[in-house]
Amino acid sequence: FLLVYLGTSIIAKDFYAVSVIVPFLVAALTALIMNRKVKFDEKVEVFCRGAGNTNILLMILIFILAGAFAEVAKNMGAVDSTVNLGLSLLPSSLLIPGMFIIGCFIALSIGTSMGTIVALVPIAVGIADKTGIATALAVGAVVSGAMFGDNLSIISDTTIAATRTQGCEMKDKFKMNFIIVLPAAIITALIFMVLTRNANVVSLDSLSFNIFKILPYIIVIITALLGVDVIIVLLLGILSSGIIGFIFGSFDLLGLFNSISDGIAGMSELIIISLLIAGTIEIIKFNGGIDFILNKGLKNFKSKRGAEYGIATLVSLVDICTANNTVAIVTVGPIAKNISNEFELEPKRVAGIM
């Protein structure tokens, strides 16, 4: 995988020039070809058993629903209303710290840092032009908030992958991560306040928003924190977004179905990658590769803290090579789970570390 992915990316001078599906397909085929002592059809059966693992299929179902909810809510106008409400409530002297806070909430609600960045960066650039603040600083506020929210969101693909591979509840991972990131978020907001304290005060144009269009985000966040099953949480989000969209004329029935379809289609690459990785990992495990990695790695881990550092290092290295957080987590997840079991680490802590 790394040979094909890094090779093509370096040649193209772009890590996103080639879809990671192709390198993972090559890796899967390589795994199927290896170990000639076992019949090919038996190895295919092992691959399918891994890809059809209950946790993997449940993770894919959550991906499907999360994609549908994010798209329906966006097309209903939830993102625009959230942004406009936030900007309307903020003092004009705190617009950049406000963009950070709004970015945190939107990413937490929709579960995607990229979607948050796309929605907020044009606004941040406009604010920078009017206030004389460096554009890089304004955009940095948006990106920082987007990363904060994406890290915590229960419908983020990274959270879904981390919690499903480690077998822990999303709300437990949220609570643990929140304690870690809250101090950093407060410090970041204060830094933005200090850096923009001398900026020109501007008044934004009248911003329209509908408080009802923000309700699906609030419903999803609250029900998730109350411990409601994530499938039900996402279905409630889709249902409430659809009803509000009908009431305010954001879309008709056909528009709702198209939004759901587009949201699911947006998750297709991640779903295919998850199936390929799960099947490949199962073959590697069948061939003794996982045991080999664990035996080599466990010799270097002397304590629980050492094992945690090892997991963090491994997922970071894969992330550097793939430039994709979710792919890194799905890839390293099974190995991290084995290390976690060996050292009796808390699943929620391992999920948070990943």
pLDDT tens, residue by residue, 323-332: 678 878 888 8
CB-CB neighbours of 255 under 10 Å: 17
Q: Is residue 214 part of a domain?
A: no
**Do 163 and 84 belong to one domain?**
yes
Query: Is residue 114 predicted with pLDDT exceeding 80?
Result: no
User: Which two three-digit tokens encode residue 253?
Assistant: 């029935």
**Do 21 and 40 belong to one domain?**
yes
If one compares 259 and 195, the residue with the highest pLDDT of the two is 259
- Boundary of a domain, candidates 287, 302, 328: 287
Say which amino acid occupies 289: G
Q: Is residue 217 part of a domain?
A: no
**Do 205 and 310 belong to one domain?**
no
Tell me, what's the pLDDT at 200?
A: 65
**Do 179 and 245 belong to one domain?**
no
**Do 162 and 277 belong to one domain?**
no
Number of domains in the chain: 3
**Do 266 and 171 belong to one domain?**
no
Angstrom distance (rounded) from CA 289 to CA 300: 17
Query: Is residue 278 predicted with pLDDT exceeding 80?
Result: yes
**Do 5 and 58 belong to one domain?**
yes
Instruction: Give the residue from 184, 185, 236 showing the smallest Cα distance to 215.
Output: 236
DSSP string for 254-270: HHHHHHHHHHHHTTHHH
Which domain does 163 fall in, by range? 78-209
Tell me, what's the pLDDT at 252?
A: 92
Tell me, what's the pLDDT at 205?
A: 63
Q: Is residue 216 part of a domain?
A: no
Q: How does the average pLDDT of the chain come out, rounded?
A: 85
**Do 83 and 196 belong to one domain?**
yes
**Do 67 and 105 belong to one domain?**
no
Tell me, what's the pLDDT at 298?
A: 66
DSSP 302: -
Dihedral of CA atoms 250, 154, 354, 113 in degrees, nearest 10, equals 20
**Do 300 and 246 belong to one domain?**
no
